């Protein structure tokens, strides 16, 4: 998949293990580590392990891994669309710090939602957290509405913020 708008980023569908996608997920992990440092308090090691399991993704569940690239091919953003049981879920949205404010996250979200609709999704869900206010604002601006925290996050991240989008 490759698409370009006259003013937007070029979006590519890549393999889950594409090195550009992996590097963008690593950048997201670093950002989230800094944002959530201390957010979960002094929790037991078994809860941390359960959270890691809840956040893990199996490649067989992934419907699409999308990245945004600049004109020179520099990766600037990433999102995953996966199946979570009977649901469609958005995961791992990130835009590099240098590329923020250019509509890349919005373009990636539109592409993921389009892909979900083409696949027959009736709704798309996602999970985020309190330390990610710009993500919350983006999702609300796209028409997502808040829903109760769903599994696998309810048990391991009950202070999450979850959203749904009706296709």
**Mean pLDDT over residues 51-70, rounded?**
87
Q: For 12-31, what is each residue's pLDDT tens digit?
A: 999 999 999 999 998 877 77
Is residue 157 very low, low, confident or very high in pLDDT (cuts 50, 70, 90)?
confident
* Topology (CATH level 3) of domain 2-166: Aminopeptidase (3.40.630)
List phi, psi (to 5°) of 36: -95, 0
Segment 85-131, tens digit of pLDDT? 899 999 999 999 999 999 999 999 999 999 999 999 999 999 998 87
For the stretch 85-95, pLDDT in tens is 899 999 999 99
- The beta-carbon contacts of 78-81 under 8 Å, at least 24 apart in sequence, are 78/21, 78/24, 78/25, 78/28, 78/108, 79/105, 79/108, 79/109, 79/111, 79/112, 80/16, 80/112, 81/112, 81/115, 81/116, 81/124
Query: Which pTM was predicted?
Result: 0.85
């Amino acid at each position: 998949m490759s698409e370009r708008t006259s003013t937007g980023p070029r979006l590519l569908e890549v393999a889950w293990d594409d090195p550009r996608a992996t590097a963008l997920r690593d950048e997201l992990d670093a950002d989230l580590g800094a944002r959530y440092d201390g957010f979960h308090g002094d929790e037991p090691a078994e809860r941390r392990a359960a959270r890691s399991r809840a956040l893990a993704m199996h490649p067989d569940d992934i419907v699409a891994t999308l990245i945004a690239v600049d004109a020179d091919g520099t990766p600037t953003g990433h999102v995953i669309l996966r199946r979570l049981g009977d649901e469609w879920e958005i995961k791992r949205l990130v835009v590099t710090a240098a590329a923020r404010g250019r509509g890349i996250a919005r373009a990636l979200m539109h592409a993921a939602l389009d892909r979900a609709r083409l696949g027959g999704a009736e709704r798309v869900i996602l999970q985020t957290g309190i330390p990610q206010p710009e993500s919350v604002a983006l999702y609300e601006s796209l028409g997502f509405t808040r829903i109760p925290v769903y599994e696998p996050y309810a048990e391991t991240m009950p202070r999450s913020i979850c959203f749904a989008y009706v296709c």
